[in-house]
Amino acid sequence: MDLAGNGWIWLTPSNLHSVSEPETTSRVLYYGRRKGKPLTTARQGVADRLLPQLKIDAPPAGGVLDPRTLFSNSVTETWLEVGFGGGEHLAGHAEHNPNVGIIGAEVFINGVASLTRHIEQKSLKNVRIFNDDVRFLLPALPDQCLSRVFVMFPDPWPKARHAKRRFVGPENLNTLARLMRDGTELRVASDHPVYIHWALEQLTQHPAFQWQVDGPEDWLTPPPDHVTTRYQLKAQKEGRTSHFLRFFRKSR
């Protein structure tokens, strides 16, 4: 639910406000929370200090943003995480892959603040943050600029009437297919059976992606480089099984 209590909010690149009007092609309908509990003074201070240096501004309509220009140090490739939650997963990959520039997109302010804390603690130089709906950023990125994309434990929106709210769907997959280099990985993880079945259906039917599996161990075992988060450990404690779907961009 959003702060107005109606469960959804309209987003534009320049503002965020609750309204009750029909969807138009000039706006993106975003479902979910923008802000949670008030930030502590210390966490707010870290976010205020670091976010101006790390933030990616929404490009103007028709603009192009080369990811290679975002990072001060030399990076060999660019990864994207869509909805990074508390930032543990993204920060872990950034720490283990210093030559990779990682863009994290997240609208939840508390999650953004959490990531800035991880960045400061680990002295990370290869992370940039788009603290808005990723659908404002993707159109501005050039073809074949991404070498990996993560969609880790997204909100499952389990009711059938909410299926259109899920990120993994035809329109977004078409965009990712344009942005990803041949042979690169789209990794989707979830502990919710509805989302797992949905993602499998969407991805196996999409002509640009291929699922390379031999058996259940391929989707029940975390990838060798997986970074475990508190959310995942909580799910395991509550008896929910995490699935890891690894699809690869087919050659053009």
Name the residues annotated as catalytic: 155
13-16 long-range contacts (CB < 8 A, ≥24 apart) are 13/58, 13/132, 13/136, 14/58
Q: In 3-state terms, what secondary structure has residue 9?
A: strand
User: How would you classify the pairing of strands 15-17 and 8-12?
Assistant: antiparallel
The gap between the terminal CA atoms of the chain, to the nearest Å, is: 41
